[in-house]
Amino acid sequence: MTVSYRQPGVVLTDRHFTVPLDHDAPKGETIELYAREVVATDKAHQDLPWLVYLQGGPGFGANRFVGKGAWLGRALKEYRVLLLDQRGTGHSTPANRQTLPLRGGPAEQADYLTHFRADAIVRDCEAIRRDVTGGAPWTVLGQSFGGFCTVNYLSAAPEGLTAAVITGGLPSLDAHADDVYRAAYPRIERKVTAHYARYPQDVERARRIADHLLAGEVVLPNGYRLTAEAFQSLGIVLGGSEGSHRLHYLLEDAFVRTPQGPALSDAFQEEVQGLLSYASHPLYALVHEAIYGQDTRPTAWSAERVRAEFPQFDAAKTLAGDGPLLFTGETIHPWMFDCDPALRPLRETAELLAARTDWTPLYDPARLAANEVPVAAAVYHDDMYVDTAHSLATARTIRGLRTWVTDEFEHDGVRAGGPRVLDRLLALTRDEA
């Protein structure tokens, strides 16, 4: 049943679709997709072109806007917008510790999850486009991992697109996961160094917390085992526009005095477990490295292996000296599947995915070189999550792509910048800027 309702300035409609789990087996098992159609109230009865939004991740549902927040207000000036919950996320058929056992054991679960990469998401888009637009092509906006999906779209089904806009999401076309993380750790270190330059008092605070965690086990209220490594992974917030400030405020309230001595405060523990838990987005942990799999080499816990090449991230070694503790960033590690109760039942499944050697290519360089779809991409200078050099190398291989390289924003520029980022990129696709 289709249901429409209103928020300030917009009309929303819930849309539901059934698609094959494996598009190469269209008569086989199906899954459900959910998307939210959004149109400006004063344009609700107009025949408008469509823009489909592909969220970052992997593993996150589309933004739940109220009204015309962030970039949405700009888009609604001329489009109907489809906010797609990519397969396995949001209100689409979920994939998590509760539902994956329906597939069978870890081997069956791992096989199932191979169908949750960019190529399957793009084929979903093409399957539902016929229902949504009547077959007319649409514009795609891809944020972060959504940009990875957009480059796959340009490779696999450019006929479905009138234009493509990418924000912080131009992937390397051929880098192995090891290459991605070897480029990532130095960027992460630069972000941490910049944080400590802004908040030098946090150097001692972070060391004190890590020292406390190395001295004894801390279990958060939700059952998450907070280790020193897990604490370091809070650095993932440093890639956002407000991340450094958020981390600072978290660290300043870490300890309280108790009859047994200093302890991590309830308020600190509550916020930390919200930041570290994968309960709301387990696919992010399960298939994150798989989004880089394109050949017969396994990803094999790449971020964990490559981290060993950067000993300055070792908390115990840092605390044995007097240097600052380095936080980490967008990296997935096997210990997360021991620490996080939302991931523990999926540890063996994750191991099987990490060992997989039959990944198929996600991008077609020849087709990208012949691209005819207007494309514009925001590349954020020293983006913590997506390597700038990799992005620019890819930009040079996509015919006609126009880049906007900027240090005005962090990775979340399309949100933090409001309508300005989308407005500029749309202008670039139209040769208006």
Nearest CA among 255, 244, 242, 245 for reference residue 207 = 255
Q: How far apart are CA 43 and CA 143, in angstroms?
A: 25
Measured in degrees and rounded to the nearest 5, phi and psi for residue 142 equal: -115, 115
296 burial level (CB within 10 Å; 0-12, 13-18, 19+): exposed
- Which of 24, 47, 322, 358 is the catalytic position? 358
Rounded CA-CA distance 99/264 in Å is 34
Three-state DSSP at 369 gives helix
Please work out, in degrees rounded to the nearest 5, the angle formed at the alpha carbon of residue 245 by the alpha carbons of 244 and 247. 65
**Length of the chain, please?**
433
Q: Is 411 a catalytic residue?
A: yes
Among the listed residues 202, 333, 411, 412, the single catalytic one is 411
Dihedral sign (CA 415, 420, 426, 431): negative
The answer for residues whose C-beta is within 8 angstroms of residue 98's C-beta and 6 or more apart is: none
Give the three-state DSSP class for 404.
strand
Q: Given its phi and psi angles, is residue 9 left (phi above 0), alpha (psi -120 to 50 degrees) or beta? A: left
Write the DSSP symbol of residue 43. Answer: G
Taken in order 60, 66, 72, 78, the sign of the CA dihedral is: positive
Give the HSE-up count for residue 42: Cα atoms under 13 Å, Cβ half-sphere.
5
**Residue 25 in 3-state DSSP?**
coil
Segment (H or E) for 12: strand 10-20
Q: How many angstroms from the chain centroid is the CA of residue 239?
A: 12
Please say if 358 is a catalytic residue: yes
Catalytic residue selected from 85, 115, 144, 281: 144
- Residues identified as active-site: 144, 358, 411
